[in-house]
Amino acid sequence: MTAAERSVDVLVIGGGQAGLAAGYYLRRAKADFVILDAQEAPGGAWRHFWPSLRLFSPAQYSSLPGRMMPPPPGGGYPSAADTIAYLTDYEQRYQLPIVRPTAVHAVRRGQGRLMVETHRGTWASRTVISATGTWSRPYIPHYPGMGDYRGRQLHTVGYRGPESLAGLRVIVVGGGNSAAQILAELSTVADTTWVSLRPPRLLPDEVDGRALFDLATRRHNAARTGQDAPSIADLGDIVAVPPVRDARERGALKAEPMFARLTPEGVAWSDGTTLAADAIIWCTGFRPALGHLAPLRLRGPDGLIPTDGTRATGESRLHLLGYGDWTGPASATLIGAGRTAKQAVPEIVASLGISSKQ
């Protein structure tokens, strides 16, 4: 590329669902933009999930703007593979300008533009949308004895299916949907124990991602107006997708309190109770992947970047999309990313003097 080709009005960092949603609205606005994606192929983080993972909503409620996700064969909730196929078709359908694989190392302030440094050179952009998600920053809490444990430890990102764990004693740590779905699958082939900080609760069978998104939106709006916000925890923690329901019927979803430490052979609780385990799976969540923004020095005391909507309050040329409720209601979901992008892009194109066509 020439130097001129490396200068754009809007540069999107990340080619997953949030980056594609932004690209859709930027394309409609006829903006000059490019999407840089570190992945080798389409699909974002969905390329790395375990095969049996299921979305929490039907296909028609798990879609990006402009194109409905096709229902999976046989109906039900789409799988990770269904989602990858959908995202691949989506970026091709709208001919989004994606440059991959391109790993972004740093974003710095330049003369009138933000300078985006990659392993393939530097881009200059009037506005940057960071949409790198969380998958590349798995979080494992520290417990005493972790270095002494002789078994296998892996995070959700390292789980690829039950085959390598069949017949073993496995502890699944975490009270969320990933833990429940992994436990449901593993409990059919392994001796599983579920532990969590607080007792996990399944949502009513009729509640799925549709209700959760609506509730997240109400919470976001209430927070912006200083009103009391409804709590998702009042309903429960875990969506009862079919494999989780099956595990519930088998009695496999009983969770134990969190252990106090690890031992060479397994784990131990504060009352002296011990449990031997061949493997521990930490389904303990993620942190936003914001390392490329460190040169801008924008993070607050909580580690997040303060925002007004999606715009960073300390750098008006930077928007953050798809990291969760702090950048838009349920913006880490397919439908939430689309709705947040729909609100953010008009603000961006207006600031650039572009007449939006949305």
Which residues face 107 on adjacent strands? 116
Domains in the chain, CATH or no CATH each: 4-136+286-351 (3.50.50.60), 152-202+237-282 (3.50.50.60)
> Who wins on pLDDT, 1 or 195?
195
Does residue 196 register a pLDDT over 70?
yes
CA distances from 309 to 12, 109, 142, 175, 193 (A): 17, 21, 33, 29, 41
Angle at 323 between CA 320 and CA 326, to 5 degrees: 80
Q: What confidence tens digit (pLDDT) does each residue in 29-84 have?
A: 999 999 999 999 999 999 999 988 988 778 877 899 999 999 988 777 899 999 99
- When mean pLDDT is compared across 133-142, 212-221, 332-341, the lowest value belongs to 212-221
* pLDDT, position 229: 54
How far are the Cα atoms of 88, 181, 187 from residue 167, in angstroms, in the given order? 36, 18, 10
The pLDDT confidence band at residue 203, using thresholds 50, 70 and 90, is: confident
Contacts of 286 (CB under 8 A, 6+ apart): 134, 135, 137, 138, 139
Closest CA to 317 of 60, 174, 107: 107
Q: What is the pLDDT of residues 204-234, one digit of tens each?
A: 766 665 665 566 566 556 555 666 555 545 5
C-alpha distances out from residue 200 to 74, 194, 323, 357, Å: 30, 10, 24, 46
pLDDT at 3: 44
> What does the pLDDT look like over 179-188, one tens digit per residue?
999 999 999 9
Confidence of residue 189 (pLDDT cuts 50, 70, 90): very high
What average pLDDT does the chain have? 89
